[in-house]
Structure 1
Amino acid sequence: MSLNNPAGLALTGATARSIELLEQAEHELRCFIGDPVATVDRALTEAPDMVMGHVLRAYLHLLGTEPAGIPVAAAAHATAAKLPANERESRHLRAVALMTAGRWRAAARVLEDIAIDHPLDVLALQAGQQCDFLLGDSRMLRDRIARALPAWSMDMPAWHAVAGMLAFGLEETGDYLRAERYGRQAVEIQPRDGWAQHAVAHVMEMQGRRRDGIAWMRAAPQAWAQDSFLAVHNHWHLALFHLGVGEIDEVLALFDEAVFGRAPGLVFDFIDMSALLWRLHLRGIDVGERWQAVADRWAPMAARSLYAFSDMHAMMAFAATGRTAQMRSLIDAQEMALAGEGDNAGFIAEVGRAATRGIAAFGEGDYASTVRLLRPIRHVSHRFGGSHAQRDIIDLTLIEAAQRDGQRALAEALRAERAFAKPEPDAPRVRSA
């Protein structure tokens, strides 16, 4: 026997109360607030045989690429696999199994098909878009959500999440006008939707609207930052806006207070820490002992490569602190991962290996090697995940390496290309060294 959730989707093994708790947990995930793991655990205490409770628990431990999350997700899958399940739930379990095995592309396809048949399945849309992000699949970030739109209307409770996801997909495909419109609409409906808030920040970052970005992020931080597990990343966006207008003291204060100081210790938070300090490093700005603290966070992950995009950011911390043993360990870990069966092997082969080694070479002062390694991958860097704003670090590093290596014609050409594509009207004038 099964009951339906508010969208009319059947939930095997559920009770009325467990459905309320599951919906609360999914709402928390949609907004990136609260503690959805604790909420779904309460739902499962109420209804241990509710398959989608175990599915959600697995997704929550997989989508952050946390090494410790994999065995938790595997255990959730093993429990749910023994329970009666309907066709939709069985497909979700297949997606979980694929993610647990590191097969993100295949999982994304399963979730794509679920959403085609069940466009009101917001969890399938959200988990699928998170897969698209990890894969760097810009088109699917947009199209996965656009396909479901005919089934939705603005008066539906989860519309804000659909609009926020669509906003991010539109931004990553360069449709900035519509992206900002959908993102602002989502935040107006649900001010606590951190993903929609972040989608609008991405638009302003890509358009170089630094002052607009500062105003957007500082208008209502209590809504997007309070009790939000996307707060570190959104503060990172605010710091980038301040960096773009040369307000270094503000950048360092944000790092100390919100990016590093309040971080719960997730891999995605470590990425933001490294990405912000590396931008300062490229400008020759002394950040004191901050790098050492970030490198300490990354240290336990140096011996294993699970996601090449993370590896590049870990290498920034190791290179900036001169931790040669951990640099070598990370490079060796990538070589071992190349022999694996999951998608990370492809991420490393296509982009991650060159990106990680290019960062290492920069840290060692071998700027010629940095240029040699980064130039061939800059146009295909989306293949190892992240957003346009995050992958911009590759171009910034390449430009600085070319300048330091005396390849001034290349550096100036890259700056001219950048200025044409991204005018950055609020940024201070760039002056050649």
Structure 2
Amino acid sequence: MTMQQDIRGLEVTTASATAVSHLDNAVADYLDYGQNASSEVKAALEADPDCALAQCYRGYLLMMLENRAVFPKIQQALDNLANIPDGLNRREKLHAEALQAWVKGDLMNACLSWEAILNEWPRDVMALKLHHTMAFYTGRSHVLRSVVAGVLGEWDADMPGYSNVQGMYAYALEECGEYAEAERWGREASARNPGDLWAIHSVAHVLEMQGRYAEGSKWLDYPAEHWAKKNFFKAHVWWHNALFSLAQEDFGKALNIFDSELSSVNSDKYVDVSNQAALLKRLEIAGVDVGERWDALAAHSETRIHDHILPFRDA
């Protein structure tokens, strides 16, 4: 098998340095919640259709849509993996196993595969981010923290993605109630990389949990165009901004955020639906008349009502 090395020194089974470069770009974009990860993976597959890691990444990004309509494309990626002539190295096999488990709805075994990767390759930041997301979705806060803590010693500040690892650690600490340390790590991560929405989001969680609502509003007081190139996750950060406004009984601002940053995306993505439903319900509990805002949301929700892919969202 011909190997190339990625930007963090990890081996990738491919003869194409171009494919690896596109995968590096895809990971960087995914970590920073950009809009180009899928196109970078597509470019990697154009450079080498038999690049196993690119096939795994394609499957991962499609799974993140949490939409059964794309499952045939995910199955095609799995079929392509099974037919790669030169085989897969051990890390790639574990990624393929994680994808297979995820498609089956077996998040625990998917996480175990990512943990196995991180035990041997602690700089595999894609495995780390995916594990981080699914450990959170399955409510395992202490696993969330221990896995990130376990790889930190293998990272340093000069490595690409280090600030993203800091942001993940901040969120894990916050979920475990270690608010002071979480805030410290999150602020350092966002200072190192001001575009890291996860680090920004992690600090927002701390401020919300501690009832520091005015500080939270100030922390998230960005001009809308600042996040123009970010993907759908930016709306969730705006949702937190609306919660800070709601807590301070600034209902007008909360409704303005709903109209300008949440409902304006006109999307049936699971994150967008849950952001809007969660804010509207809170506003109604507070006695705010939300008008006909539920109607458009109901229309979007109806198209996805039978997906049932992610228990966290179903709940």
Q: Does residue 90 of the first structure (1) align with residue 119 of the second (2)?
A: no
1:79 paired residue number: 80
Q: Is the 8 A contact 2:16 2:47 kept in 1?
A: yes
1:26 paired residue number: 27
Distance 1:220 1:284, change over 3 A: closer
Q: Is the 8 A contact 1:51 1:85 kept in 2?
A: yes
1:270 paired residue number: 273
Give a deviation string over 1:278-312, Cα, whole Å, max 9, x none. Answer: 10122232111100111111112234533333234
Q: Distance in 1 between matches of 2:224 and 2:184?
A: 20
Q: How does 1:100-115 map to 2 (within 5 A)?
A: 100-115=103-118
Distance 1:87 1:182, change over 3 A: same
Q: Does residue 295 of the first structure (1) align with residue 292 of the second (2)?
A: no
Unaligned runs of 5+ in 1: 313-433
Q: How does 1:188-267 map to 2 (within 5 A)?
A: 188-219=191-222, 222-224=225-227, 226-262=229-265, 264-267=267-270
Q: Distance in 2 between matches of 1:80 and 1:188?
A: 39
Distance 1:14 1:239, change over 3 A: farther
Q: Distance in 2 between matches of 1:305 and 1:152?
A: 37
1:181 paired residue number: 184
Aligned residue pairs total 312
Q: Distance in 1 between matches of 2:206 and 2:141?
A: 14
Q: Distance in 2 between matches of 1:112 and 1:179?
A: 22
Q: Is the 8 A contact 2:3 2:11 kept in 1?
A: yes
Q: Which runs of 4+ in 1 moved over 6 A?
A: none
What is the identity, as a one-letter code, of the residue corresponding to 2:134? C
Q: Distance in 2 between matches of 1:170 and 1:67?
A: 33
2:18 paired residue number: 17
Q: Is the 8 A contact 1:197 1:224 kept in 2?
A: no
2:49 paired residue number: 48
> How far is the alpha carbon of 1:96 from its aligned partner?
0.2
Q: In structure 2, the residue corresponding to 1:301 is in which secondary structure?
A: coil
Q: In structure 2, the residue corresponding to 1:174 is in which secondary structure?
A: coil
Q: Distance in 2 between matches of 1:179 and 1:49?
A: 41
> How far is the alpha carbon of 1:16 from its aligned partner?
1.3
Q: Distance in 2 between matches of 1:100 and 1:35?
A: 23
> How far is the alpha carbon of 1:220 from its aligned partner?
6.2
Q: In structure 1, the residue corresponding to 2:4 is in which secondary structure?
A: strand
Q: In structure 2, the residue corresponding to 1:3 is in which secondary structure?
A: strand
Q: Does residue 161 of the first structure (1) align with residue 164 of the second (2)?
A: yes
Q: How does 1:384-423 map to 2 (within 5 A)?
A: none
What is the identity, as a one-letter code, of the residue corresponding to 2:242? A
What is the identity, as a one-letter code, of the residue corresponding to 1:68? A
Give a deviation string over 1:97-147, Cα, whole Å, max 9, x none. Answer: 000000001111111111011101101101111111221111122111100
Q: Distance in 2 between matches of 1:223 and 1:159?
A: 22
Q: Distance in 2 between matches of 1:163 and 1:309?
A: 24
> How far is the alpha carbon of 1:222 from its aligned partner?
4.4
Q: In structure 2, the residue corresponding to 1:8 is in which secondary structure?
A: coil
Q: In structure 2, the residue corresponding to 1:153 is in which secondary structure?
A: coil
Unaligned runs of 5+ in 2: none
Q: Distance in 2 between matches of 1:37 and 1:193?
A: 19
What is the identity, as a one-letter code, of the residue corresponding to 1:13? T
Normalised TM-score (structure 2): 0.95
Question: What percentage of residue pairs aligned between the two structures are identical?
Answer: 34
Distance 1:263 1:219, change over 3 A: same
What is the identity, as a one-letter code, of the residue corresponding to 1:227? K
Q: Does residue 125 of the first structure (1) align with residue 142 of the second (2)?
A: no
2:311 to 285, 308, 312: 308
Distance 1:176 1:222, change over 3 A: farther
